[in-house]
């Protein structure tokens, strides 16, 4: 889902999350290819250095132009493979070109040697670089093409080795060399193929996991925004409408008007993406002062007690959640705890618990059965429970008919005591 699909009316944090560029994982296949390629380049240089003395020794067996051209091309090819694998640029093209050039040199060997006596019974210098060529093919070609090359090059060398231009070796010795080359080349091909397939599988699993994580993160962000908006609508809009509908005096009308102005400001903040609290840590004493100010503006007589709050601070989002949930608990008590002829006492206890905070809102009203509260009653579910859960806190409701109610708010979350 893109930011355009969500639309401009979505909360800003959701739009930011969905429109942010996706993070690209570090591909393990790229690392494996780099390690294999650089190892092949290093071994190519090593084998090439060992081949140069034999190459120079057998140079008189060729016409001067052919010998130097072929030797120069092979040396330049080895150096090009080393540079390409070290820089990881055009590795496939360079390794593939070197493998093709080497096969041409081996096949053409009997046709370009002018003096076979110089070689004698020794092995042609191309023997020492067969493994370098097969490894280059494994890096550059598709696996089937590389497999054919791995078998074809040693077989071509076998026929060269049997000719006088290749040393006229016995069939058994020449076949042993060819089989040895096929085994080494096949082992290299299997290693390269297995590592590539494994790393590709790891990449696929990693990409799937990251995509799943991103989807879960987007879902969580949307759910968090839904909870915030639901709580905001209930706390600001519905409560304001109820206050306005029940206003029977000028003072109550003015209070409802002030509540309406505050609700409009908060809704505008949502549209601008500024509803989430920001800034530095908030002192718990400030939360208590806001609760007391709310009680005073509502004309209530709730008693507020504090315990060990000196110097304690909370994250802004946590402070806002505790304040809003506590006020909602008071609103619920004012709306539902009373009964004709019943005097309801209310108290709020704000305590420090380790590095966290607990707020207990209690009344001596008619009480209720929490299990029977309808789901559509958003005050308890959205404004208290989900609001606290959204910041890593928890809430506990203790009440029974005829015995008042106690609402406990805890941050961080903790298991309720029986």
CB-based contacts of 306, cutoff 8 Å, min separation 6: 285, 288, 349, 350, 351
133 contacts 98 by C-beta, under 8 angstroms: yes
Tell me the C-alpha distance between 285 and 277, whole Å: 17
60 contacts 118 by C-beta, under 8 angstroms: yes
Given 206, 239, 254, the domain boundary residue is 206
Angle between helices 64-87 and 91-112 (to 10 degrees): 160
162 contacts 174 by C-beta, under 8 angstroms: yes
Given 206, 231, 248, the domain boundary residue is 206
Find where tokens 């709730």 sit.
302
3-state percent helix, strand, coil for the chain, nearest multiple of 5? 70, 10, 20
Spell out a b/e string for 308-326, using b for 16 or more CB atoms within 10 Å of the CB, else e: ebeebbbbbbbbbbbbbbb
Q: What percent of the chain has pLDDT over 70?
A: 75
Q: Whole-model pTM?
A: 0.51
Tell me the C-alpha distance between 226 and 131, whole Å: 64
Given 206, 228, 262, the domain boundary residue is 206
pLDDT digits (tens, 9 = 90+) for 39-85: 989 989 999 898 899 888 888 888 778 888 888 889 999 999 999 99
Specify the higher pLDDT residue, 79 or 228: 79
Give the best-scoring range by mean pLDDT among 300-309, 313-322, 409-418: 313-322
Domain match, 105 and 198 both: yes
184 within domain boundaries = yes
Residue 113 sits in which domain range?
28-206
pLDDT digits (tens, 9 = 90+) for 324-336: 888 888 877 877 7
243 within domain boundaries = no
pLDDT beyond 90 at 148: yes
238 within domain boundaries = no
pLDDT beyond 90 at 351: yes
Q: CATH no. for residue 360? A: 3.30.565.10
6 within domain boundaries = no
Q: Name the average pLDDT for the chain.
A: 80
Domain match, 192 and 284 both: no
373 within domain boundaries = yes
The DSSP letter of residue 238 is I
Domain match, 200 and 309 both: no
**Count of structural domains, the chain:** 2
102 within domain boundaries = yes
Domain match, 195 and 289 both: no
First to last CA, the chain: 44
3-state secondary structure 312-367: CEECHHHHHHHHHHHHHHHHHHHHHCCCCCCCCCEEEEEEEECCEEEEEEEECCCC
52 contacts 66 by C-beta, under 8 angstroms: no
Domain match, 52 and 187 both: yes
330 contacts 294 by C-beta, under 8 angstroms: yes
pLDDT digits (tens, 9 = 90+) for 373-405: 766 555 566 678 888 888 889 999 999 888 889
18 within domain boundaries = no
Domain match, 32 and 167 both: yes
């Amino acid at each position: 889902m893109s930011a355009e699909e969500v639309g401009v009316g979505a909360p800003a944090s959701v739009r930011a999350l969905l429109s942010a560029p996706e993070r690209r994982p570090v591909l393990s296949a790229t690392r494996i290819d780099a390690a294999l390629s650089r190892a092949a380049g290093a071994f190519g240089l090593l084998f090439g250095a060992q081949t140069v003395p034999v190459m120079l020794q057998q140079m008189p067996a060729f016409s001067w132009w052919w010998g130097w051209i072929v030797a120069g091309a092979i040396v330049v090819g080895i150096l090009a493979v080393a540079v390409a694998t070290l820089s990881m640029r055009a590795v496939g093209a360079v390794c593939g070109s070197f493998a093709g050039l080497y096969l041409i040199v081996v096949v053409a060997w009997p046709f370009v040697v002018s003096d076979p006596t110089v070689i004698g019974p020794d092995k042609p210098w191309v023997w020492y670089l067969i493994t370098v060529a097969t490894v280059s093919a494994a890096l550059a070609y598709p696996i089937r093409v590389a497999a054919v090359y791995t078998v074809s090059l040693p077989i071509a060398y076998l026929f060269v080795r049997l000719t006088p231009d290749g040393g006229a070796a016995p069939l058994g010795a020449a076949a042993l060399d060819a089989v040895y080359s096929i085994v080494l080349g096949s082992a290299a091909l299997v290693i390269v193929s297995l590592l590539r397939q494994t790393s590709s599988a790891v990449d696929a699993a990693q990409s799937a996991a990251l995509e799943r994580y991103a989807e879960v993160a987007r879902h969580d962000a949307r759910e968090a925004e839904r909870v915030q908006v639901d709580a905001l609508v209930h706390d600001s809009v519905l409560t304001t409408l109820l206050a306005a509908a029940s206003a029977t005096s000028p003072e109550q009308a003015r209070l409802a008007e002030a509540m309406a102005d505050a609700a409009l400001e908060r809704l505008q903040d949502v549209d601008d993406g500024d509803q989430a609290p920001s800034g530095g840590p908030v002192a718990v004493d400030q939360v208590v002062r806001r609760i007391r100010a709310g009680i005073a503006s509502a004309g209530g007589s709730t008693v507020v007690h504090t315990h060990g709050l000196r110097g304690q601070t909370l994250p802004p989002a946590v402070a806002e959640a505790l304040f809003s949930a506590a006020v909602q608990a008071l609103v619920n008590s004012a709306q539902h705890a009373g009964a004709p002829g019943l005097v309801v006492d209310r108290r709020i206890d704000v305590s420090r618990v380790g590095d966290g905070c607990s707020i207990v809102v209690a009344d001596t009203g008619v009480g209720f059965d929490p299990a029977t509260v309808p789901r559509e009653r958003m005050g308890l579910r959205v404004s208290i429970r989900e609001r606290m859960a959204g910041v890593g806190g928890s809430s506990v409701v203790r009440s029974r008919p005829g015995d008042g109610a106690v609402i406990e708010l805890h941050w961080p979350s903790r298991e309720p005591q029986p």
